């Protein structure tokens, strides 16, 4: 595979990690994950992290991943455009979707410890918490897939492209969500 193809594949397989953040905004509301509890005078996670957002977000990412598998299977039944053979591909999709929102939750936990209010801007954390969560969980659970897709040889360019592109995509989607009144802040 040439570099461009490797990069395109690295972004394609990351889509199940990208969608949950936006989907969580649509599904969010209701019971907070921390059940309103505080720790050392500050909310554990805050009102911006809800069970509905988590479940709806993960389900959306997994659903998108399954659609991607369906799209890929007639062309690449072996590797599914980078997800790998079937049992593993399903696991990778689930891990990316879940990892991304676990990263988002970790980011909120850190923001609250720093005394930042819900929705307050945290440059770096807001754009990368979910990327880090998805990549780390994938590294932990599917290390061979992760190294092949984002580290070994030319695959490192896929990781670099991801780290450059994701904050731009994240920003663009959030501005759209903000203008449509779906999101309270444009970041």
Residues that bind ligand CTP (CB under 6 A): 24-25, 28, 46, 48-50, 53-54, 101, 104, 108, 111, 118-120, 183
- Give CA–CA dist 22/53, Å, rounded: 9
Which residues fall within 8 angstroms of residue 20, CB to CB, at 6 or more apart? 57, 58, 60, 61, 97, 100, 101, 104, 130
Q: Are 60 and 71 in contact (CB under 8 A)?
A: no
Residue whose CB is less far from ligand CTP, 10 or 61: 61
Q: Tell me the residue nearest to ligand CTP as measured from the CB.
A: 53
Tokens standing for residue 12: 């394609």
Output the CA–CA distances (angstroms, integers) from residue 28 to 13, 55, 142, in the order listed.
25, 9, 29
Smallest separation (angstroms) from ligand CTP to the CB of 38: 14
Query: In this complex, which beta carbon is closest to ligand CTP, that of residue 88 or of residue 106?
Result: 106
Q: Give the nearest distance from C-beta 26 to ligand CTP in angstroms.
A: 8
Instruction: Provide the minimum distance between the beta carbon of 55 and ligand CTP in the complex, in angstroms, as a whole number.
Output: 9
**Least distance in angstroms from the C-beta of 163 to ligand CTP:** 19
């Amino acid at each position: 595979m040439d570099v461009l193809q490797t990069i395109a594949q690295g972004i394609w397989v990351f889509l199940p990690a990208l969608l949950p953040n936006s989907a969580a905004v649509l599904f969010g509301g209701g019971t907070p994950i921390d059940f309103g509890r505080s720790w050392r005078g500050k909310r554990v996670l805050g009102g911006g992290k809800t069970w509905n957002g988590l479940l709806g977000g993960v389900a959306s990412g997994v659903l998108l991943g399954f659609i991607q598998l369906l799209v890929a299977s007639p062309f690449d039944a072996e590797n599914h455009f980078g997800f790998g053979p079937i049992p593993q591909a399903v696991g990778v999709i689930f891990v990316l979707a879940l990892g991304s929102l676990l990263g988002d939750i970790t980011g909120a936990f850190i923001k609250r410890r720093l005394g930042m209010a819900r929705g307050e801007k945290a440059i770096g954390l807001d754009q990368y918490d979910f990327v880090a969560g998805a990549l780390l969980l994938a590294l932990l659970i599917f290390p061979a897939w992760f190294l092949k897709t984002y580290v070994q040889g030319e695959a490192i360019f896929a990781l670099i492209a991801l780290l450059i592109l994701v904050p731009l995509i994240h920003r663009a989607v959030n501005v759209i969500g903000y203008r449509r009144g779906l999101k309270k802040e444009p970041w």
